Structure 1
């Protein structure tokens, strides 16, 4: 343990499973005090138990502005500032053009775009000057995927938030970067692919398209997030860091 984030205050939205959970664990292991969010209390309680150490769970849906306010109220009750914000909460479902409903569009954009926008904006009074903000984008921000256009559009928006916000926040020296995972072995991905043998078959096929020859693990994405959040990345600003085994580069 290097304790790179000793006594730092870190917020991880969508921290109850997958990449968010792995990242919260990694920050706690490095000495941080971590706040995670999740929409379901049972999942939140399980995540807090799995993470251990200095972690606080705050139930909330980040597409709801009132829930975002409650998150930062909880942080402010214990700490004067936030050092790292990982705006990770998000999700999506498959829907081909011709079958996209208004509900599908509004739900996806509310979670992935509206939620990230106001998660960051409402954090500004608490963010320390020189803080690090990391946004979860996706390799879909630059590549096409059948039946995934709405989700992909939201992730392209996230990537462009990083480009613009570094200008808005330059006087405070707050860095904003996007991490773009490729195919990553999470419960959410399994659900998206239909679960069970169907999901495993889809992942095996996708692994054959990745130069690294396999899908990623949440812990590998977490390591990239911790790099972007750390002083090791002090001159890294506004980038989209692909963590995808090379798939986006071919």
Structure 2
């Protein structure tokens, strides 16, 4: 038995520790999108699989008997492909999906369906903090006319894709105090985030509430129909143990 753990989230790291501590034979996989990622306590492969055919080939070659998907809630293409391939191959599949953020009293959140919808709500001349990462940055091109600050973990390898934008380099986790001081210093008017969930990255939302900054919350993509889902790290480890 060999479990494939599709990792890349804070919860995936805890799951990896649980698998390793339980003596479960498992391999972790990272996409390689983040440079100098912290090592996991499991044998780890880094990089894509080469599409659907490459993924199927890897599952067969590595003798994978079950797949535990703990990727980011917005990695919907990876999740959809993985769920479909596992169903076709008869491999047990579990999707660990952390609970979404819900607003607290005092939060000023507006939900949007797509990155492109942000421009309709943010007036020209405002300063915008993007906590959405670099991979979907080009979808905000219609925010020209605002000062746009995009935070990412690694230094940029290309210029900002539109005028008025700038990169801010930072490696999480960030405390509430750090985020509050940062937003105040940058004079942020609006914050745009994906509804990724998770306690570690909610600090920016707490800071936004304390400063009275409105937040545009990008709605999560739909999850594949008919797949087993858990939001519990312990349940994910127990599932793997039962395999």
Q: TM-score higher than 0.5 here?
A: no
Please state which structure has a larger fraction of its residues in helix. 1
Please state which structure has a larger fraction of its residues in strand. 2
Choose 1 or 2 for highest CA Rg.
Answer: 2
TM-score, normalised via structure 1 length: 0.42
Q: Which has the higher contact order (CA 8 A, sep 6+)?
A: 2
